[in-house]
Amino acid sequence: MLYMIFGGSGSGKSAYAEDLAVKLCPGEKVYLATLTDIDAEMEQRIRDHRKMREGKNFRTVEQGLALESLDISGERLVLLECMTNLLANEMYSPEAKQAEDIPAYIMEGIRHLKEQAEDLIVIAQDAFSEVPMDPEMRRYVKASGRVNQMLAKEADVVVEVKFGLPLVLKGGEILSEVESR
């Protein structure tokens, strides 16, 4: 199953996704970290997320580019945190492949992961609360919207989290089964 969990910054989406991951798979699971440690703020975010995962049986795999090259075969559950960082890495990192259609390229990587794991949870940022004035930021927001639309279309479950509250947009019956476990 493919689960998409999205929301704004500080919405509670990561906590919700991690709790869902634990319900789906109490045993060992993979936390696929895409955030690149580039400054003190990012270092603090990484520390905060590691602390949130303590005691939840996550094994961290760091890969911020080229998901199609990652071998996670045989894993029960993978939680990818987050699509927004992955997109930024693929758009702006000097090591990126520089694909012509970056959202489509990213979705190829998502499909690659989905083929290998029983459950894949992808966390995405809602980047549309403001319209950026800078042309490059508009390009990034447009690509973010496109990849999120593609992900939501293919996902079995789509949940938006606001203020820590989940709003199920797709796949409510699947989540009901998970909750009843």
| Chain segment 147-177, per-residue pLDDT in tens | 999 999 999 999 999 999 999 999 999 998 8
- Contact partners, residue 175, CB within 8 Å, separation at least 6: 20, 157, 159, 168
Task: Indicate the pLDDT class of residue 97, thresholds 50, 70 and 90.
Answer: confident
72 pLDDT above the threshold of 90: yes
| Cβ atoms < 10 Å from Cβ of 22 | 18
Task: Report residue 5's pLDDT band, with 50, 70 and 90 as the boundaries.
Answer: very high
Mean pLDDT value of segment 18-22: 95
Global pTM reads 0.89
The fold of the 6-171 domain, in CATH, is Rossmann fold (3.40.50)
Q: Domain limits of the chain?
A: 6-171
